[in-house]
Copies of this chain bind each other. A is one copy, B any other.
Amino acid sequence: MITGKNYIGNLLTSIGNKTFKTFNPQTNLENDTVFYEASAIEIDKAVTLATAAFKTFQKIPGAKKSEFLNEIANQIEALGDQLIEMYCAESGLTKERAIGERGRTIYQLRSFANLVNEGSWVEAVIETADSNRQPIPKVDIRKMLVPLGPVVVFGASNFPLAYATAGGDTAAALAAGCSVIVKSHPMHAGTGELVAMAIINAAEKTGMPNGVFSNLNSSGIEVGVTLVKHPGVKAVGFTGSISGGRALYDMAAQRPEPIPVFAEMGSVNPVILLPNAAKLKGADWAKTYAASITLGSGQFCTNPGLILGIKGNDLSHFMEFLCNEIVKIEPSCMLHPNIIGAFENNKSKMLTQPGLQTAVILEKEVPKNYGRQIITTVDGATFLANTNLHHEVFGPFSMVVQCENMAQLEAIISNLEAQLTGTILAENELENYGNIIDVLQNRVGRIIFNGVPTGVEVCAAMVHGGPYPASTDSRFTAVGVNSIKRWVRPFCYQSWPNELLPNALKNENPLGITREINGNKTIVSL
C-alpha cells in the first residue's frame, strides 16, 4: 500500500532525486520502502494547490468540515493493524502505545469535528446600528473568526500519530478552515503516508477541494525551509527541539510578509518537592516519578527532567528510593538511532559539567537502541551558576537539585528558562510557599499539584505551551480545542447586507450558535 511518494493534493508524485528509508530501531534495520523527498517543484505545486483549495474550503459550512474530520478518523480506524504495525516498525514504540496514540488522534479529530459542527467557536459578536446615537450615528458591526490561509505542519518525532500527519495541529487547522501541507517526519514517513492516504480518502469522500491537504516527504531541512519561506504559506505549526523551532520562527519572522509560527519546543518541566512532601511521601513520589521519568523512554516534552528539593535527610531518602525504583524499570527502545545518539551525546556533555554527579544509571546490558535510565544530582549553587545544567536531555534522564534553602530554590526558579509545566509536591504546606508558586507560575503554561507532568489531557481547559522557549507564542495552546485559535483571525463586517453575511452573523442565527449581541451572550435571533 505504501508508495514512498508525496501527496500533492490527491496526486501521488515522486519527481525528485533524493530518496531515503525509515529505520526500525527494534530490529536495528532499515525498513523497505524507498521514500522520495519532495522536490522544489512539488513543494510549489502543493502550496499553489493549497492556496486554490483555501478559496473554497474557507467558506465550507462547519457541518461539512465536521463530516470531513470525522471521516478522517473513520479512515484512520479503517487502516487497522496495518497502521499499528507501520507505527511500531518506524518508532520502536510498543503496540499498546501505538493503539493508545491512535485513540488520542481519533479523539482529537472528533473533538474538532464536534466543535465546528456546533459552531459557536467563531466567537460571533454583533453590535447593531443606532441611528439616533449622538454625536454620530452608530453603524452595524459584526465580527467572527476566519481562517488564516494555508498552514504548514511539521510532524513531531515522538508522536508519529497524535502530533503528526493528522495530529493536533492538522486537525485544528482543518477545523479552522485552513488548507494544510504536512512536512512529514522522516522517521515515520510510512506512518505519515498511510495517514495522508486516510485524509485524502476522507477529503474525496466528503467532497472537499483538491489541495485541502498535501503530504510532503523530507529527509533534511530543505523541504521545511522552502515551505516556511513560500509566500503562499500563512502560518506554521511545529513540535520539536528549541533549535529547530527557533530556526523556523526566525525564517518566518524575516519573510517580507512575516507569518505566525507556533512552535512547541523543549522543556525540563521542573518539579518542586516541598519539605513535608519529601518527609511524609518521599517513597511514594519516588516510585511515581521513576515511572514518569522512564515513560516512553523519557521521550515526552513534559518529561520531568528537573527535581528541586531542600538538601537534607528527607531529600536523600527520596533520592535513594528514586534510584532504587528507577533501575527496577525495564528499559525501552528509543525512537531512532539518531535520537538515542543525541541522548547519549547530551547526557555525556551534561556529565562533564563540574559538580554534576550520577546518582544512578541502569547498568545492565540492554538491546541496541534501548535507553538506559539515569538520575543525576547537583547542588543548588552549582545549578544556579551554570546554565548548561538547565538544558533538556531528551530521554530517560532527570536531575535532582539539592538546594541549600527555599530562598535558593526560589532563585533557581526565577532564573530558569520558561517551561511547559511546573509541578509542586506538597503535604499541607502549599500555603506557606506562595512566593515559589508565584515565581513558578510566571515561567510555565501549566502548573500541577501533587501529580506528574507527563500525560497531557486533551480537553478545553488544557494549556500546552508557555513563555519562550517552551513555545514561540505563549498566547496559544497546542493541545485542546482552543488550539484552533492559532490559525484564525477576527474579521469584521460593517453595515453589510444581512443576506450576504456568513450564516454565523445573519440576523436569523440559522446555525443556532451562541453569539454576543450588544454585549449579551445569547442564542436568540435578531
Binds B, one of A9-17, A75-83, A375-383, A470-478: A470-478
Q: How large is the interface on A (under 10, 10 to 19, 20 to 34, 35 or more residues)?
A: 35 or more
Closest Cβ–Cβ distance, residue A441 to chain B (whole Å): 7
Give the residues in chain B near A59, CB-CB below 8 Å: 438
| A97 within 8 A of partner (CB) | no
Q: How far is the CA of A127 from the CA of B111 in the complex (A)?
A: 15
| A362 within 8 A of partner (CB) | no
Q: How far is the CA of A459 from the CA of B249 in the complex (A)?
A: 33
| A347 within 8 A of partner (CB) | no
| A492 within 8 A of partner (CB) | yes
Q: How far is the CA of A450 from the CA of B491 in the complex (A)?
A: 18
| A482 within 8 A of partner (CB) | yes
Closest chain B residue to A138, Cβ basis: B457
If A127-B457, A148-B474, A457-B139 touch, whether A492 touches B445 (CB-CB below 8 Å) is: yes
If A249-B253, A461-B142, A496-B447 touch, whether A473 touches B260 (CB-CB below 8 Å) is: yes
If A250-B253, A448-B495, A451-B494 touch, whether A462 touches B500 (CB-CB below 8 Å) is: no
Closest chain B residue to A450, Cβ basis: B495
Q: Which of B438, B461, B491, B496 contacts A126 (CB 8 A)?
A: B461
If A249-B258, A446-B492, A488-B475 touch, whether A497 touches B430 (CB-CB below 8 Å) is: yes
If A138-B457, A257-B468, A472-B258 touch, whether A494 touches B126 (CB-CB below 8 Å) is: no
Closest chain B residue to A252, Cβ basis: B253
Closest chain B residue to A54, Cβ basis: B442
If A447-B496, A495-B448 touch, whether A125 touches B461 (CB-CB below 8 Å) is: yes
Q: Is the CB of B141 within 8 A of A492?
A: no
Q: Is the CB of B445 within 8 A of A490?
A: yes
| A220 within 8 A of partner (CB) | no
| A136 within 8 A of partner (CB) | yes
Closest chain B residue to A493, Cβ basis: B447
If A494-B449, A516-B460 touch, whether A442 touches B149 (CB-CB below 8 Å) is: yes
Closest Cβ–Cβ distance, residue A234 to chain B (whole Å): 8
| A143 within 8 A of partner (CB) | yes
Closest Cβ–Cβ distance, residue A305 to chain B (whole Å): 18
Give the residues in chain B near A461, CB-CB below 8 Å: 125-127, 141-143, 492, 516
Q: How far is the CA of A431 from the CA of B498 in the complex (A)?
A: 12
Provide the A497-522 mask, 1 if CB < 8 A to any CB of B, else 0: 10010000000000000101001010
If A141-B461, A143-B462, A475-B488 touch, whether A495 touches B253 (CB-CB below 8 Å) is: no
Q: 5 A-B pairs, CB-CB below 8 angstroms?
A: A125-B461, A250-B253, A253-B254, A253-B258, A446-B491
Top 7 nearest A-B pairs (CB, nearest first) are: A463-B492, A253-B253, A141-B461, A474-B489, A446-B492, A448-B494, A125-B461
13 other A-B residue contacts (CB within 8 Å) besides A445-B491, A449-B496, A514-B521: A59-B438, A146-B441, A250-B253, A253-B253, A253-B258, A258-B468, A446-B492, A447-B491, A449-B494, A460-B519, A463-B490, A475-B485, A521-B521
